Each structure stands twice: as C-alpha cells, then as structure tokens.
Chain A
C-alpha cells in the first residue's frame, strides 16, 4: 500500500493471461497501452465523456479511463485487438465498418467497435434504438454519425445472421 508503489495485477486480455506491476493511479487504459503495448485502445478526454477508450470488461462496455488498473485485477478484458481472429480475419463488426465507411480518421473507431461488440454479444437482436443509445455515448468528430449508424445496423444484421448460422 505504498504511494506510487507497485501493485501486482493479473487479468485476462483477449484470452491471454497477463500480469503487470502498476501504480494505484494507473488507469486500465494506461495498463493496456503502456504496460501491455495494446495501443489499439485510444485515449481522448480521460474523464469518461468521449468514449474512445471503451473496452469490454467482464462482458460489459467500460470506459478504460474510468477504471483503475488495480480494479481490473482478476477481470476478463477484450480490446479492439481481440476482435480480429487469430488468422487476421476481420470481425463482422469491423467488416461492416469497412464496407459502409463507418470511419474517416478512425480515432473514435476502436471505442465504437467495442461498445457495439458488447451490445451485440449481450443482445444479438438489438435494433436501431439500442444501437443509437450506445452510439450516444461515443463521440466522433469526422463522420457526422450517419455512416457509423449504417455500419452498426449492417454489423447487427451480420451478427444476427452468424448467430442463426451457429444455431443450425
């Protein structure tokens, strides 16, 4: 419990157990980016408003700038790097964003993908209302959101189709 002293944390990130020594004030975003080298998770406002740092923690979309690394000890985290398959195949959500031009500069994209991933994993039947609500918590400075919404609706349809395929 020493100031600035190292706390050992152990968590699963994208299916792999990772360990690190962190200061109490380090956020999960910092742990992911600096200690674990997973820079796909972006950081913008660092106070919860913009959403670019959103990752999935124990199945729920979470601001990684508003969670201390020590709080993440023992959790299961998925970042944008974990969306892509081992062979580099894009996830259906990523495919949809590419197909429907859901990004311009791409700075906001990792957070948006992860927020949608959490939504669609919990509720593959999520419709436009649910999608709009989630997107309401993610800022984009480029697209004007219409292409993001289109991409998200397309992603939802693909995820639903994949789920139906899996059930067969």
Chain B
C-alpha cells in the first residue's frame, strides 16, 4: 500500500501550477487535500509521474460572499466550511451536507475543490452544487472560465475540467430566506459514502402550495442528477404524504441505470432514492415558510 515513485512540485502561484499542468506528454496530477488521491495512489489506481501540490499557493483558500453566492477558494477545507458561521447562516443546506462527508479527521484536510474535481457519484458536494445552481471557476493556459454545476459533473470521476485546467473557485448561491431545504442520505456506517441521497430546495406560495421545488438525487447514477419529472408533479400542488409518495415514485422510475455493488443492488438504491425523496420533501416543507415579503 505505498504509492509508486513520482516527482513533486509545490508551486507558489496558480499561474505556476497551470504551467506545470501544460505538458501533455507527462502524467500530471494535482494534489489538494489528498483524501481521495492518496488512497488511489496507495492502491496504485493512480500512478502520476508528477504531483503538483496546491497546498503552498497563498489565497487559494477562504470563504466570502459575492453577488448572492458564497464563494469558496478551491483549497478551503471541509472543516473550515463546517465551522463557518457564514455558511451555517446563509447556506444551511451546505452546512448539513458537509457534516455527512466522512469524519472530522477527513474533513480537516479534504477540500471543497477536491470534492468537486474528484466527482465521486456518491459525493455530497456535487449534489449541493447542482441543486443550488452553483458554479465552478477554472483556470487554464487559455485563461479563466466559469462552468455551471449543471455542465460540470459529466460522469463518475469525470468533470468538464480539461487536463490542464485548475479549479480555483466554487460558487454556491445563498439560500434565500423562506426557502426550505433537505439533505438526506443513507450510508451503511456513519461517514461512509452514501448508497443513495437527495438534495432538495422548496419554496411555497402564499397558499402553501409548492411554487418552486428542486430535486437532486446522488449515489444512484454515475453523476448527481436533477429529476425534473418529480418537480413537475409537485409544482402548484399542496404538500402532503400522498403527493410526496407520488414524487418519490417518479424519482424511482426516473432512475434508468442505477449503480450496483456489493453494498447495494441497483433496485435497492432506486428504492432508497424514492424513500429519501419522500422524507426530504417532508423536511423541506417543514423548513419552508410561506413568507413572500422577504427574499
């Protein structure tokens, strides 16, 4: 369980890091918190020739609020997100999701950018980015670009980032006042990757009916996915157990090729996604208020 030999570089700036990535003939990997990459290297699933450590670049970590979004430097640790009062207040969905990632001992080093770039199908952060309409800011040899979360997560461990691009910032819009939310998942043990999960946001109109609702499932397919068919079933309707069950059924039916492994069969994951949607809707509605005077 030791990584194969590699060269190591710790650039002092993003520009230097990008220059190091710009060598198509050399297998280069970026190292952030190392909580996914180092296990993969130990198991020799990854054998980079050069490891570019982002840990020595100043200003790549930090949390701020800008244009209605919380902006995270890619190297911000999950521990820092968890402790952030700003996140707890302005984006409680993200706070709740953070506490489900591994253990404090993992969150101390694992980064926001690392979870997005790694794109594990069962990871919590990509689901949060998708349900909140978040975005990723990438820097490469051709300059910077912003990629909406909806276009970023392509498949298992595959994102829209090019080989020579670095993820520098992650934007997660704040949750407007009055918006309900829920983050549910089921894992075999606390801290394990989820077998299935849902991330939801809920807005109610003055009559108490769903005006806007977003449903994202993760851990069941190769990437987190919005289930618009379930959202359509809910919109304009009055919340209640029967309706939530119907939405759960729609989610179950919408999942075409569920993941399957020794921990959970495809059918079980699909079943869980339906149940968790139902539970999430109840939580989300309970947290939503019908106030329309605030935003």
Contact = CB atoms under 8 A, between A and B. Distances in A.
B34 interface: yes
Interface in A79-137: 115, 119, 133-134, 136-137
Contact of A137 (B42, B79, B106): B106
A63 B103 CA distance: 11
Contacts of A119: 104
Interface residues of A, number: 33
A48 B53 contact: no
Contacts of B105: 51, 54, 61-63, 115, 134, 137-138
Interface in B207-235: none
B141 interface: no
A40 B41 CA distance: 25
B177 interface: no
A51 B4 CA distance: 22
Interface residues of B, number: 32
Contact of B53 (A46, A70, A133): A70
Contact of B106 (A4, A48, A68, A70): A48
Given A24-B51, A47-B42, A136-B190, A68 B108 contact: no
Contacts of A61: 104-105, 108
Interface stretch (B6-14, B147-155, B157-165): B6-14
A146 interface: no
Chain B CB within 10 Å, residue with most, of A4, A60, A68, A134: A68
Contacts of A51: 103, 105
A23 interface: yes
A3 B42 CA distance: 17
B131 to A, nearest CB: 25
Interface in A128-155: 133-134, 136-138
B6 A66 contact: no
A66 B34 CA distance: 6
Given A61-B105, A119-B104, A66 B39 contact: yes
Contacts of B1: 45-47
Interface in B65-117: 79, 102-106, 108-109
Given A133-B103, A134-B104, A47 B10 contact: no
28 contacts: A2-B7, A23-B5, A24-B5, A24-B7, A24-B8, A25-B2, A25-B5, A25-B6, A25-B41, A46-B42, A47-B42, A48-B39, A51-B103, A60-B108, A61-B105, A62-B105, A62-B109, A63-B105, A63-B106, A66-B34, A66-B39, A66-B109, A67-B109, A68-B34, A70-B53, A115-B105, A136-B191, A138-B105
Interface of A: 1-4, 7, 23-25, 27, 45-48, 51, 54, 57, 60-63, 65-68, 70-71, 115, 119, 133-134, 136-138
Interface of B: 1-10, 31, 34-35, 38-39, 41-43, 51, 53, 55, 79, 102-106, 108-109, 189-191
Closest 7 CB pairs of A and B: A137-B103, A24-B8, A46-B1, A47-B39, A60-B108, A61-B105, A25-B3
